[in-house]
Amino acid sequence: MLTNEAVLKALSTVMDPDLKKDLVSLKMIEDLQVEGSKASFSIVLTTPACPLRNQIEENARRAVKTLAGAEEVEIHTISRVQAPAPVNLDSNHFKYVIAVGSGKGGVGKSTVAVAIAARLAAMGASVGLLDADIYGPNIPRMLGIERLPEGDGPKIAPAQAFGMKVVSIGFLVPEGQPLIWRGPMLHTAIKQFLTDFDWGELDYFVVDLPPGTGDVQLSLTQTLPVSGAVVVTTPQQVAVDDASRAIAMFEKLQVPVLGVVENMSFFEMPDGSRVQIFGEGGGEALARMNSVPFLGAIPLDPAIGKAGDSGSPTALLQNSGLAATALDQITKAVAAEMSKAAYLK
C-alpha cells in the first residue's frame, strides 16, 4: 500500500541540482496526500525564476513512480522566495539585495538591471528597483515614468512600473540638471533612498549602481548587506579590464559576485551569420579568470535600444528574439546563483 512515509522517502532521494540537497531536507515538499494509488504534493521552489523547474518536477515524478502501488502522481509547483538572512532596514524588508555594476559606462548595465527586475516581477516575485546611478539616472526613461506618486504617509511611496516599485534621483531633480555632489551627499542620498521610501517587503531588491568603483558602491554596502552582485561588460578588452576592477571591488567589500554578463556580444546578420563588433569571448574570459559564473551573452539588438527609449521593457522581454531569450536565461541564472549563495554558505 502506498503511504505518505514511502512517498517522502522516495522524494528524499531527489536532489535540487543547484542547492545539492534533497527536496525533503530543503522543505520543498508540502501538501502531501495519498489516496489509494494516487500521490499528490506541492513542490515549493526557492524562486519563481528557477531554471531547473521541469527537471525537478520530472525527477520527483519518476522517484515516486518507482514505488509499489504508485500509479498516478500529481505535482503542483509553486514558488516562495525564502532567504536565510533577509535584510531588515527601518520597516523595509529585502529578502535578496542584488547589485548590478560595471567597470565603465556604456556597457548596458542599466538595461541588464531593468531586464532582471522586470522579468522577476513578471514571474510573480515582489521586486523593487533602485536607480542608484546618481550622475546618470536612466531608469525613469527606460520605464516610462516621470515622477513619484502623491502621498501623505510617513514614508514616501515609490513609483510603480511593470509590477515593481521604482525609485530614482531622476524623479527628484529637474530633467537635464547635473548633480555635482561629494561623497557625504551621495552617502546621505543612498541612505534616504533605502530608509525614507516605503519599499515594504520585497523578494528581490535590484540596485542599478553607477559605473566604476566609487562612493555610491561603498555607501550602499555600508548601509545594508548586499546579497550578491552582477557585473556587466562588453567583449572589448578595455571594458573587461574595468569590469575586473569592479569584481575586485565587490570582493573587497565582501559582496559575493553572482557572475558576469557580456552585453553587445555579437550582431546577427540577416543571413544568420554573426559579427563580433566589440571582440569575442571577453566576458567568459573575465568570469573564468575570476572564478565566477558566466551568466550569459546578450547580442547587439536594435530592439534593446528601442525598448529602453520607449519605456517598455516588456516589449523586449516578451518577444522571441535572441536578446529576449538571453535576458530570460540570465535572469534565471541570477536567481539560481542567488539561491545558491544563500543556501550553500
- pLDDT at position 136 is 87
Residues 311 and 309: their CA atoms lie apart, in Å, by 6
Handedness of CA 250, 220, 176, 181 (dihedral sign): negative
Residue 252 has pLDDT above 80, yes or no: yes
In this predicted model, what pLDDT tens digit does every residue of 47-75 receive, in sequence order? 999 999 999 999 999 999 999 999 999 99
In this structure, what is the dihedral angle of CA atoms 183, 104, 227, 292, given to the nearest 10 degrees?
A: -140
Report residue 315's pLDDT band, with 50, 70 and 90 as the boundaries: low
Report residue 307's pLDDT band, with 50, 70 and 90 as the boundaries: confident
Residues 96 and 75: their CA atoms lie apart, in Å, by 28
- pLDDT at position 214 is 85
Residues 308 and 311: their CA atoms lie apart, in Å, by 5
**Looking at residues 2-29, what average pLDDT do you find?**
94
Phi, psi of 38 (to 5 degrees): -110, 130
- pLDDT at position 237 is 95
- pLDDT at position 286 is 97
Higher pLDDT, 206 or 321: 206
Structurally, at CATH architecture level, domain 4-79 sits in: 2-Layer Sandwich (3.30)
Residue 84 has pLDDT above 80, yes or no: no
Phi, psi of 34 (to 5 degrees): -125, 125
Domain boundaries of the chain, sorted by first residue? 4-79, 87-343
Average pLDDT value over all residues in the chain = 92
In this predicted model, what pLDDT tens digit does every residue of 125-150 receive, in sequence order? 999 999 999 888 999 999 999 899 98
The CATH number that domain 87-343 falls under is 3.40.50.300
- pLDDT at position 44 is 95
- pLDDT at position 338 is 85
Strands 38-45 and 72-79: parallel
Q: Which amino acid is at 168?
A: S
Residues 64 and 124: their CA atoms lie apart, in Å, by 29
In this predicted model, what pLDDT tens digit does every residue of 152-163 receive, in sequence order? 778 999 999 999
CB of 62 within 8 A of CB of 192? no
Report residue 345's pLDDT band, with 50, 70 and 90 as the boundaries: low
Phi, psi of 56 (to 5 degrees): -65, -45
CA distances from 255 to 1, 230, 249, 284, 322 (A): 51, 10, 9, 20, 31
**Looking at residues 220-224, what average pLDDT do you find?**
90
Residue 37 has pLDDT above 90, yes or no: yes
Residues 193 and 92: their CA atoms lie apart, in Å, by 11
